[in-house]
Amino acid sequence: MREASVTPSRVLVYATVWLIAAVYLIPFVVVLLNSLRSAEEIAQTSMIGWPKQWAWSNYANAWGQFCIAQTCSGIKPYMLNSALVTIPATIISTLLGAVAGFAISLWRFRGDRWIFGIIAIGIFLPQQMRLLPWTVVLRDMGLTNTLTGLVMIHCIQGMSFTTLFCRNYYTAIPQELIKAARIDGAGFFRTFWRIILPLSPPILIVTAIWQFTHIWNEFLYGVTFTTGQQQPVTAALIALTAAVADIPQYGVQNAAVIIAALPTLLVYLFGGRYFVRGLTAGSVK
Amino acid sequence: MSRAAPAGTETTTVARRLSDALRRLPEHVVIWVPLLVTAAHIVTFSVWTIWVSFTPSTLMPVSGWVGLRNYNAILSTRNWQTAFDNIFLFGGTFVVLSAAIGLFLAILLDQRIRGENVLRSIFLYPLALSFVVTGTVWSWLLNPGLGVQKFVNVLGWTTFRFDWLLDKDKAIWTIVIAAIWQSAGFAMALFLAGLRSVDGDLLKAAQIDGAGPVRIYRRIIIPSLWPILITVVVIQLQFAITTFDLVRALTGGGPGIATMLPALVVYDFMFQRGHIGRGAAAAVLMLLILLSVLLPYWAWRYVQSRRVANA
């Protein structure tokens, strides 16, 4: 390839690519700036503008005071709900997926292709096909409108992804390594603990990031199976934006959007490489 | 295994087998229970929803057989008809544009430009956001009294109009805009990985033959990307067909029912109108639309893997 030098075509490439990058950044920058402007200022001009006065109080307001559906406790309780669902569900589904993925990659048994195929289908099966059954299961287990119910749903549903991610990774581990451990008399758990887990950090990080992002961002189950104070933050955001019609509080609402998006954005910033790896792994399946 | 049992006696073998199985019970529980629960929920939930779609269930699931009545009822609603049309409008436009933009961005980033990592992060960050956030933000930006139109109006161009969000013929394009913004980066990531894995020797040979960059892209690189293109199209179509959150946050299906999509029809019948039989029928119809994309894709994948195995 030629040495990169300043030519008109290269200038054009840079200009185009940064122009598109600007379009990608604008929505985020607009919301970030709005989160620091007062409602009056936004109403007088538009959503797009530089803050005249920095309204830092928007964040405190959005976090602890703003009224969502007649409850004036800000976004805090909903963030807590999301965390209480996302963190346990991510950890449990990732670990169970690692164990199951290893078992599937290790053993051939009768019907293994069937189980594997069904679990793979789980990746494609739309949530709408599971809504009614989950409603019944949650009711019968007494878990309607509980965070425990959501954790259970995300663990069982997430197993499809975590098992396949891990299985694909573990099939690449040399069988000799596992056989050697077997000959040394190591059982399943010992082999898993001593040999597989130390090799696993990359895939566990990819899987955990994938699960965290998906569960945190999930909306349909949250809005269907929980109400009021039990809702995760995505459902609360919809209720919050519906309140625009009553009393416009744009600054506070923008701050709430930033707060709600922050956990997954931080995960993306710090785990970008693994995030992208998950995206491509999730697409190849 | 320190116990040197007298070999051959029946009882000790059975006992040993039993103790062996007991010893291994924990691992079997940890492995099989989650796997079987997952597999079982996929099968039973699907079968159950399909069954409900053939029953006269309204608020509660009841047994009984009404044949295709729920399906006929759904198919004749204006909501479903609009939703079905929108799948083609939204799905088609979104898939073509996001693949085109993704490929374009990937080719630009492949020009060995400085700051590639930063640029890639910028194009991919919307994928970390929830569709609720994306929909909410774009509903503000595209709101004529609040966003881009108001901004331009305040700047002085007072007759400028950009009110697709409130226009029932154009509102569907606002969903296309938001969906592309959210996921063109995904297409870019896959295409870029494909571009980077093109055979270097082939490129050198073409260069020696005097082929220019445009020719190399058109004749060698882009044709080698078509398996990735198919994957991108299928995944984006799958997303388009099941879209719910984005529309819920951006337009709520409106104005009127202009941006209705199948997933919204399902939700509406199941939980707002309290007619779960019809809701289930809509869900099954949605699954059929999805399968009309996935089955050919799986068949193609199967043929491809066979070809690789035989080669």
Contact A48, A28 (CB under 8 A): no
pLDDT band per the 50, 70, 90 thresholds, residue A246: low
Q: What is the pLDDT of residues A218-245, one digit of tens each?
A: 999 999 999 888 999 999 988 887 765 5
Given this model, what pLDDT does residue B281 score? 94
What pLDDT is stored for residue B85 in this prediction?
A: 94
Q: How far apart are CA B188 and CA B173, in angstroms?
A: 21
Q: Suggest the residue from B132, B265, B268 to mutate for an interface test with chain A (most A CBs closer than 10 A).
A: B132
> Can you tell me the mean pLDDT for B193-210?
83
Express as a percent the part of chain A with pLDDT over 90.
Answer: 44
Q: Quick check: A277 pLDDT over 50?
A: yes
Whole-number average pLDDT of chain B: 88
pLDDT above 90 covers what percent of chain B? Answer: 50
For residue B41, give the nearest of A16, A270, A55, A152 by alpha carbon.
A152
Mean pLDDT score of chain A: 87
Does B34 sit within 8 Å of A220, measured CB to CB?
Answer: no
Across A154-163, A185-194, A215-224, B297-306, least confident range = A185-194
Pair of tokens at residue A237: 């955001």
Distance from CA of A72 to the nearest CA of B (A): 21
Which pLDDT does position A243 carry in this prediction? 62
Token pair 């073998």 is at which residue?
A: B13
* DSSP string of A150-200, one letter each residue: HHHHHHHHHHHHHHHHHHHHHTTS-HHHHHHHHHTT--HHHHIIIIIHHH-
Of B108, B263, B294, the CB nearest to A128: B263
Across the range B139-150, mean pLDDT stands at 86
Q: Do A128 and B139 touch (CB under 8 A)?
A: no
Q: What is the pLDDT of residue B9?
A: 61
List chain A residues with CB under 8 Å of B27: 187-189
Give the pLDDT confidence score for residue A84 in this predicted structure. 96
- CB–CB of A47 and B126 under 8 A? no
Q: Residue B270 and residue A132: Cβ atoms within 8 Å? A: yes
Is A133's CB within 8 Å of B283's CB?
A: no
| pLDDT of A285 | 46
- pLDDT tens digits for range B174-193: 999 999 999 999 999 999 98
> Is the per-residue pLDDT at A284 higher than 60?
no
At B64, the amino acid letter reads: G
Strand partners for A71 = A68
Query: CA Rg, chain A, in Å?
Result: 24
Please state which of the ranges A250-264, B73-87, B156-170 shows the lowest mean pLDDT: B156-170
Interchain pair A127, B270: CB under 8 A = no
Residue B1's pLDDT is: 41
Mean pLDDT of B229-257: 91
Average pLDDT, integer, range B135-148: 88
Q: What is the pLDDT of residues A21-68, one digit of tens each?
A: 999 999 999 999 989 988 888 877 888 888 888 888 889 888 888 877
β-bridge partners, A68? A71
Nearest Cα neighbor of A158 from A209, A123, A204 is A123
Cβ proximity of A69 and A228 under 8 Å? yes
Inter-chain touch A133–B45, beta carbons under 8 Å: yes
pLDDT at B247 over 90: yes
Cβ–Cβ of A126/B286 closer than 8 Å? yes
pLDDT given for residue A251 in this prediction: 86
pLDDT band at A1 (very low <50, low <70, confident <90, very high): very low
- Give the Cα separation of B61 and B48 in Å (integer): 10
Mutate which: B62, B130, B165, B246, vs A, most A CBs within 10 A: B130
> Within its chain, how far is the Cα of B8 from the centroid?
59
pLDDT of the residue at A4: 54
Q: Which of A118, A133, A187 has the CB atom closest to B48's CB atom? A: A133
Return left, alpha or beta for B112; rule: phi > 0 is left, psi -120 to 50 is alpha, else beta. left
Task: Give the pLDDT of residue A272.
Answer: 81
Higher per-residue confidence, B200 vs B174? B174
Which chain B residues are Cβ-neighbours of A48 within 8 angstroms? Answer: 141, 147-148, 151
Q: Which residue has the higher pLDDT, B277 or B219?
A: B277
Task: Give A23's contacts in chain B (Cβ within 8 Å).
Answer: 181
∠B164-B166-B169 over CA atoms, to 5°? 60
Task: Give mean pLDDT, residues B119-133.
Answer: 93
Q: What is the pLDDT of residues B23-73, one digit of tens each?
A: 778 777 888 888 889 999 999 999 999 999 998 888 888 888 888 888 999
Degrees, nearest 5: CA angle A142-A148-A150: 100
Distances from the Cα of B10 to the Cα of B3, B14, B16, B20, angstroms: 16, 6, 10, 15
Q: How confident is the model at residue A179 (pLDDT cuts 50, 70, 90)?
A: confident
- In this prediction, residues A11-18 reach a mean pLDDT of 92
Q: Check whether B122 has a pLDDT greater than 50.
A: yes
Per residue in A93-133, pLDDT (tens digit) is 999 999 988 888 877 777 778 888 899 889 899 999 999 99
Which candidate, B153, B180, B148, places its Cα nearest to that of B164? B148
Collect all residues with Cβ–Cβ distance below 8 Å to B170 and sequence separation of at least 6: B164
Residue in chain B nearest A100 by alpha carbon: B31
Averaged pLDDT, B293-307: 90
Beta-carbon separation of B245 and A219 below 8 A: yes
Averaged pLDDT, B205-220:
82
Helix, strand, or coil here: A93? helix
- Give me the helices (H) in chain B, please: 10-23, 25-52, 69-75, 78-86, 92-109, 116-124, 131-141, 148-155, 171-196, 200-208, 213-216, 222-224, 226-242, 245-250, 262-267, 276-310
- For residue range B2-17, list pLDDT tens digits in order: 444 455 566 678 888 8
Mean pLDDT along residues A72-101: 93
Predicted-complex ipTM score: 0.90
